[in-house]
Chains A and B, each alone.
Chain A
Amino acid sequence: DIQMTQSPSSLAASVGDRVTITCLASQDISNYLNWYQQKSGKAPKLLIHDVSKLHTGVPSRFSGSGFGTHFTLTISSLQPEDFATYFCQQFEDPNVTFGGGTRLEIK
C-alpha cells in the first residue's frame, strides 16, 4: 500500500491567514494526487485534482503543488467558509489511499 501522511493533523488559523498543508507519499505517485474538503457533518467534496487543477467552482485562493512524493495545498487568504478538514488522496496505485486529514480550525 502507498501510505499518505498529512501534516499537520490540525491547525488553528485566523481569517486572512495563508496556510499550507503537506501530504507525503511513501513512494513516487507522479502527479496522481487529489485534495478533498470536508465540512462538519457533510460528505467530502473534490477541491483539486491532479496536484494543481482546481475543480469547477473552487476559489482561486486554493492552490496545489508538488510531484512525486511531496505535495502541498495552500490557501492564500483564509475565509470563514474554509474552516474544514482536508484530505489528500493518491490514485497512482489501484489500491486508493487517503491521508489522515488536516483539521483547520479558527484561532
Chain B
Amino acid sequence: QAQLKESGPGLVRPSEALSLICTVSGASISRHYWTWIRQPPGKGLEWIGNHYDSGTIDYNPSLMSRVTISVDTSKNEVSLRLTSVTAADTALYYCARGVEMGGNWFDPWGPGTLVTVSS
C-alpha cells in the first residue's frame, strides 16, 4: 500500500522560495496523480495543485503565479516549490495520492510537514 512522507526545511524567510519533497513508497509515481494541500495552523484545508500522470498540472488559481509541482519518476518523488513566500504561507503541507475511479478523491495522505515563514 502506498505511503507518503513530506520533507523540507521547517523555516523559510519571507520573500524566499519554499521547496518540499514528497517521497512515495509502495506505489509508482507514474501510475497515479499527486496533490499538495496545505493547512494553516488551526484552520482549514487549501488545495494547492494536482500533477496528473498525463503530465497535466492543475493549480489553485490563487497560487498559480507562485507554485510549481513536478515529479521525479526515477526517485518516486513529487516536489512542490512556492516562491515569494509571506507569513500567510505558514502551514502544514500535505501531499496525497489522487485516485480517479469515476469520481476523484485523495488517499492516502502523508503525515504533513510544518513550514513556518519568518525572518
Contacts and interface: CB of A to CB of B under 8 A. Distances in A.
A46 B35 CA distance: 14
Contacts of B60: 95-96
A97 B44 CA distance: 11
Nearest to B4: A43
Interface of B: 35, 44-47, 50, 58, 60-61, 94, 99, 102-112
Interface in A11-41: 31-32, 34, 36
Given A95-B58, A95-B60, A44 B44 contact: no
A98 B105 contact: no
B112 A43 contact: yes
Nearest to B58: A94
B35 to A, nearest CB: 8
Contacts of B112: 43
Contacts of A44: 45, 94, 109
Contacts, number: 59
Contacts of A98: 44-47
15 contacts: A34-B103, A44-B45, A45-B108, A46-B107, A49-B99, A50-B102, A50-B103, A87-B45, A89-B106, A91-B103, A94-B58, A95-B58, A96-B35, A98-B46, A98-B47
Interface string A67-97: 0000000000000000000010101001111
A49 B107 CA distance: 10
Given A43-B112, A96-B50, A101 B44 contact: yes
B100 to A, nearest CB: 9
B14 to A, nearest CB: 26
Given A31-B103, A34-B103, A45 B44 contact: no
